Structure 1
């Protein structure tokens, strides 16, 4: 059926109230409605920025699948880090989560574990895509990297990034790539287009002084701009300073061809994941993130339900803008939200995916009960 609804209820009374709202065609809390969007499911993994203190803690208390996946990630990370994954999640230490060599591995673990939970609920991706460091999680979920190699890449590379700290920064600009390239052209190579997320969303990275000049220029021209809270310049020439270290420390990574297609935001197209060696992971940090280009390719290949496996959805606007520009119907579903990290939030997301057309195994969350046939339409 193309028109679908999901009622989330804690008891019989609220279930009856929700069903009444569906029958009357009125909006109500706890009710998710929508129409099927033709197309397959894509798992999306963002870069740094979706984190929040306490992310994953409540969900781990509800879902055994999520909790077990986190435990596996913790074991995989142990050889490379001096802290405990679970202690970081449980402690609520904002300062610790503010370190790039902590937040990136923790985000990786949460995203990989969210993907495991989605799959456990019957939502299977036809493809995956990762943005910047999110591509490490995407490679693991696709099967291109083992969990152990994914942990090695995210832990050692994020530690290498510490050498860049204090030398630059990043800003988000409300404009397309062409507009932004015009803005940064006058800064003599001190700024780079770091990521193209959508027709009206681009990220710039580079030297701190040049970024201040860009902020002033955008203010004069009336272009909306936002400083990203990092003190290093990923996806810029400054990354060349850690090239040899990254290549040496990741030399033993052994990628393999995956069973699930991975669309690379380094190349802008689907790739054989067996190519994701140390050199690839350096380029992933150095080159422009071609997210808009990959989104267009996914849409063109009939993939239109985007499930963002992250603690907070950050790529939805870019996907929606790109789909609108391409004239294609698409839906973006988050997993969790800041401050909303438990059972109700995830089940709402599961409902949003199902009404959009994703396959869901409802027995994974409603293990007992009686299925009933819906009455026929009254034509």
Structure 2
């Protein structure tokens, strides 16, 4: 597949929490019928909640902010999945998938581990459980995991390792505040992650426990497309794909995105395509030695957050670079 002079396999990077922004995907929904059709599949499977979600998502002034987990989580899943389906229905076959947080569930659905109806049930159950979690937040610290760890207060955990010097922490409001104060005094800078839920922390242990019975009842199959796990940083095994405990633990365990991305990049020259809103994952991928040397290329399907009316044009330009007709 020639892209900008590079020939190599296609890897899809599927973003999760913090990639959301107001209006994301709404232009595609209005202007790209194939995208709207897949989104409507997801909304239909959600039942009445899907009707409400779609209506609020498309509203000029949404009732629920996009950063609320009731909006960000199901919409990120749906948009990631719909964009992946567009590529695959257009004839592109990814060689590997890597999702960040909720993005891994979208990747698992594209890989055939879960059917779409089962994946939607998992998303809805998880989101419903977030109301039981104490208020908290997340922050991205410009430091390594080893540098951050000594400053963590009780109730604050490592939520993600996104890059060698980008570590996300998560916890309840007050312990997170005191941890961030300690990090500031130690000379580290940080930025808040848009989330009112402390994803990937022990505070979400009840969410994981509650998901166990549901996941045990759903069929899960070996991946039909290789998937690099954002939680083990290795290729997902058939046993892990079938293990309800693996999927139930996602809200608690840290996302090891950089180690997983390093594993993926080690497979040789390829094209890393961000299959979801924004450019967060391709921005991280640009730090890879393989990208800096020009042996691996990156492409974001939608580019930076923009006016929704421009989304169809951005997607068409990306499709052209991928050698496929505009969706």
| TM-score, L = length of structure 2 | 0.89
Higher Cα Rg, which structure: 1
Deviations 1:253-289 (A, max 9, x none): 2111121001111221111356344322221111111
Equivalence for 1:180: 148
Instruction: Tell me whether 1:236 sits opposite 2:204 in the alignment.
Output: no
- What is the SS of the residue equivalent to 2:19? coil
Could you tell me which residue of structure 1 aligns to residue 299 of structure 2?
333
- Separation in 2, partners of 1:183, 1:131: 25
Q: Which residue of 1 aligns with 2:13?
A: 44
TM superposition shift of 1:110: 1.2
Extract structure 1 runs of 4+ deviating beyond 6 A: 325-328
1:101 maps onto 2:70 in alignment: yes
Question: How many pairs align?
Answer: 322
Partner SS state of residue 195, structure 1: strand
After TM superposition, list the pairs within 5 Å mapping 1:76-225 onto structure 2: 76-78=45-47, 81=49, 83-96=51-64, 97-166=66-135, 168-184=136-152, 187=153, 189-225=154-190
List gaps (5 residues or longer) in structure 2.
none
Secondary structure of the equivalent of 1:140? Answer: helix
Q: Deviation of residue 127 (structure 1)?
A: 0.6
| Cα separation, partners in 2 of 1:105 and 1:131, compared to 1, 3 Å | same
Note closer, same or farther for the CA distance 1:224–1:327 as it changes in structure 2 (3 Å cut): farther
Alignment-derived partner of residue 67 in structure 1: 36
Say if 1:234 and 1:285, in contact at 8 Å, map to a contact too. yes
Alignment counterpart, residue 316 of structure 1, candidates 255, 258, 282: 282
CA deviations 1:217-271 (Å, max 9, x no partner) are 3323332201123232221121223333221343322111121001111221111
How many Å separate the matches in 2 of 1:350 and 1:67?
Answer: 17
| Gap change, CA 1:125 and 1:311, over 3 Å in 2 | same
Q: CA deviation at 1:86?
A: 2.7
Q: Distance in 1 between matches of 2:223 and 2:21?
A: 31
Secondary structure at 2:161 match in 1:
strand
Matched, 1:295 2:264: no
From the superposition, tell whether residues 287 and 85 of structure 1 become closer, same or farther in structure 2 (CA, over 3 Å): same
Change (3 A) 1:256 1:93: farther
User: Which runs of 5 or more structure 1 residues have no equivalent in the other structure?
Assistant: 5-33, 366-379
Which residue of the partner structure matches residue 361 of structure 1?
324
1:285 to 251, 254, 274: 251
- Distance verdict in 2 for CA 1:66–1:82, change over 3 Å: closer
Question: 1:141 deviation in Å?
Answer: 0.9
Quick one: distance in 2 between partners of 1:214 and 1:328? 39
| CA RMSD in angstroms, aligned pairs only | 2.5
Query: Secondary structure of 2:249's match?
Result: helix
SS at match of 2:251: helix
Check whether the contact 2:233–2:260 (CA below 8 A) recurs between aligned residues.
yes
Contact 1:44/1:308, CA 8 A, preserved across alignment: yes
Q: 2: distance between equivalents of 1:194 and 1:328? A: 31
**Cα distance change of structure 1 residues 92 and 139 upon mapping to structure 2, 3 Å threshold:** farther
TM-superposition CA deviations, 1:17-44 (whole Å, max 9, x none): xxxxxxxxxxxxxxxxx442x5321111
Cα distance between partner residues in 1 of 2:293 and 2:150: 27
